[in-house]
Structure 1
């Protein structure tokens, strides 16, 4: 059969999670393509899957223009939360959906640009049997309906989409009474659907099915039909580095006299480095905490943006701009990370205890702040801006203030703690000394390592990408309308 993936462009966080399933299908003899904005074609080629470029080759991605969509105003976000009576924890899921995730969706369902129509035209011509679409790219559902293909979402994180749509449906009367749109996702998708004579129904919003790679205890409860699949870590292949396979040189710790060196990885994410010079005050504090832990060797995958405010690299820390986590994890005793789902999943797959950088109690709500020169350096989001790509933007008189953590950090840290495989590293609340002790304890605690083995066994019990291919084939027979 022919299988078309469609993803949000120019983001490894959206590409890498689909590659293991794409390769499983391709290895089973199916034809596979990945469609997204033309600027990401080379990135897809590096995975060995054939890209389908979308959009006008003369146009840059929408996110790099002044015309890209703005996040919803925080007052409107909270007005919805109040109308639906959401708890503090539930409000965070809603904020992620309404203020963060609707943004990329609105950029790539526009009828005044070519990306969405190019996707539908390709589906009509190529006639895929199955379209697997990124939840932030629901034009894939439109392409499925127009072309007659079976279509399903492929999640890359918790399903805030399905969860939020369930909350909206449950509270439709209250939302109408408050003068609010009872389904903002449907409203966003309506112009594209109307262009092709389609009604925006539940299937168009969440697919006929959902491939869900989250561990059962980490899933959000939704009413969507789910096909579980193991989340297999993937990173583009690189030439193997000899040092990765060498055991760290044994040293004697000056603090406690213990001998023997363990390796600890520090990874603070690929996306934040595009927008936040200096990584707030997080990287400097963590690296300072590494000093004195002489029985630990730290591999920090940080670039110059993330190291901007670091005064000194400790002698037991080696910095690299990029090291593939699937290659690094088997050599490590602990992973310190920003809370991204792909990074957390790599540690699970290689049974590595985790410290998740998270500020418990700090909301992920984006706030509007008037532009001031000293505020624009760090922790901000501006339309069209990306470090090293497009740094000169027109000032709108304000900027968005980012929380000093990844939007998934709290759910990930809560899950890691509940499973006993690690802890929360709060760089705002914990002192350097407390962070240092937390790192040493996590790297050496046998209970953490046993718990990491148990969690990996839960992960192994899930069906692999290859295992679900017969289910996908049956799904296609039952749902395609060719």
Structure 2
């Protein structure tokens, strides 16, 4: 079977689909991944074949247009109420409009029998409708966006659907959901479960991954956080975490930011970004930016987490994590800037066994879900 995989122009939007792509390839399918140039490095790092379409989107430049000078996203962006989260699909409706004709030309040439795309890749639905083939969407994880955005996309892209001879924007034939059920948004429509298998890029097994004599906390706030005026925030969080007694703090920070961060406490070890799944089992807690892939990676090994969301769906992810009992979310500027509160939150995760128990329960939920290889075989049988 020929399968066209599609991704919106953010590499981390494609990362959840990589294990499924591997499963499809291992089952004998031909897989071609198409996206804007932003995603090509990740496609190559996953050992997959890519076909770039359109121009680079450059998500960082897009986001900087909304920032107040010198302020990080949490200090600049409006936080939308739950019923307005469909707003975050609109940029991808615009990108679909820009690129759908080029995608369609590629699809007509390659002749796929199935399309698999991320949860807000709307060009995939138009192409599937024109070619008369099924389209499977794959969620990133906790999903407060896609159902509401799909509702909005039917109106926003109605003219394109009409241009292509379709009655309306088609809905996905199936939605794959890697989020453990008890962590997912109660409002999210039911999807087909698929186990989250972490893909955090390529790398080498770190020499320091062995279990330390002290408790280990990893602080990973994402490269984008640093790029968007976030260096003072990252410095503050590392220092606050290091003030917890008897801890070793691993800070995943690209080396180009180390000088700007300045001297760190003795308890902090800065390391280059490293695939998280290579060392999560040597950690006792994680502090992160509430990114979907990061949160699910930590959840697979039952790790208690402190979420410090910055924008978009990250607030909902933090709320669901806290509601599950597996973590704590500090979701406003005052909370995140309070060094004592950050320190005390990390200490609670380490000292109260209830957090570890709840996190391990989520990990067992993930382990019970069908693997990407099993879902791949199911897709090939059905379609």
Fold-level similarity (TM above 0.5): yes
Q: Which residue of 2 aligns with 1:462?
A: 369
Q: Which residue of 1 aligns with 2:168?
A: 200
- SS of 1:5's partner is strand
Q: Which of the numbers 258, 275, 283 marks the counterpart of 1:324?
A: 275
Give the distance between the partners of 1:122 and 1:31, measured in 2 at CA.
15
Give the distance between the partners of 1:270 and 1:197, measured in 2 at CA.
42
Greater gyration radius: 1
Aligned ranges 1:141-220 → 2 under 5 Å: 141-164=125-148, 184-201=152-169, 204=170, 206-220=171-185
State the Cα deviation string for residues 413-454 of structure 1 (Å, max 9, x = none).
222223222222456237323322321231233332222222
- SS of 2:274's partner is coil
Is 1:61 matched up with 2:57?
yes
Distance 1:29 1:50, change over 3 A: same
Asked whether the equivalents of residues 133 and 154 of structure 1 are also in contact (C-alpha less than 8 Å), the reply is yes
Give the distance between the partners of 1:338 and 1:307, measured in 2 at CA.
19
Q: Which of the numbers 337, 340, 365 marks the counterpart of 2:288?
A: 337
Q: Which residue of 1 aligns with 2:251?
A: 300
Is 1:438 matched up with 2:345?
yes
Q: Which of the numbers 316, 321, 326 marks the counterpart of 1:421?
A: 326
- SS of 2:115's partner is strand
Give the distance between the partners of 1:199 and 1:224, measured in 2 at CA.
23
Give the distance between the partners of 1:451 and 1:221, measured in 2 at CA.
18
Asked whether the equivalents of residues 339 and 406 of structure 1 are also in contact (C-alpha less than 8 Å), the reply is no
Asked whether the equivalents of residues 335 and 355 of structure 1 are also in contact (C-alpha less than 8 Å), the reply is yes
- SS of 2:185's partner is coil
- SS of 1:52's partner is strand
Is 1:3 matched up with 2:34?
no
Q: Which residue of 2 aligns with 1:103?
A: 91
Distance 1:231 1:429, change over 3 A: same
- Give 5+ residue unaligned stretches, structure 2: 67-78
Give the distance between the partners of 1:62 and 1:303, measured in 2 at CA.
19
Is 1:48 matched up with 2:44?
no
Give the distance between the partners of 1:109 and 1:160, measured in 2 at CA.
23
Aligned ranges 1:13-52 → 2 under 5 Å: 13-52=12-51
Q: Which of the numbers 215, 222, 229 marks the counterpart of 1:269?
A: 222
TM superposition score normalised by structure 1: 0.69
Give the distance between the partners of 1:223 and 1:445, measured in 2 at CA.
31
Give the distance between the partners of 1:218 and 1:278, measured in 2 at CA.
28
Give the distance between the partners of 1:14 and 1:165, measured in 2 at CA.
16
Give the distance between the partners of 2:240 and 2:190, measured in 1 at CA.
45
Q: Which residue of 2 aligns with 1:373?
A: none
State the Cα deviation string for residues 81-111 of structure 1 (Å, max 9, x = none).
xxxxxxxx9x62333321x32113212322x
The CA deviation at 1:267 is 0.8
Give the distance between the partners of 1:239 and 1:309, measured in 2 at CA.
26
Give the distance between the partners of 1:63 and 1:315, measured in 2 at CA.
35
RMSD, aligned α-carbons: 2.8
Q: Which of the numbers 338, 347, 356 marks the counterpart of 2:298?
A: 347
State the Cα deviation string for residues 198-221 of structure 1 (Å, max 9, x = none).
2224xx2x3122111122123335
Asked whether the equivalents of residues 119 and 137 of structure 2 are also in contact (C-alpha less than 8 Å), the reply is yes
Distance 1:187 1:305, change over 3 A: farther
By percentage of residues, which structure has more helix? 2
Give the distance between the partners of 1:105 and 1:242, measured in 2 at CA.
44
State the Cα deviation string for residues 180-231 of structure 1 (Å, max 9, x = none).
xxx6422332343233222224xx2x31221111221233356856211112
Q: Which residue of 2 aligns with 1:377?
A: none
TM superposition score normalised by structure 2: 0.86
Q: Which residue of 1 aligns with 2:239?
A: 288
Asked whether the equivalents of residues 179 and 366 of structure 2 are also in contact (C-alpha less than 8 Å), the reply is no
Q: Which residue of 2 aligns with 1:449?
A: 356
Give the distance between the partners of 2:37 and 2:249, measured in 1 at CA.
38
Q: How many residues align?
A: 368
Give the distance between the partners of 2:188 and 2:292, measured in 1 at CA.
22
- SS of 2:269's partner is strand
Is 1:247 matched up with 2:211?
yes
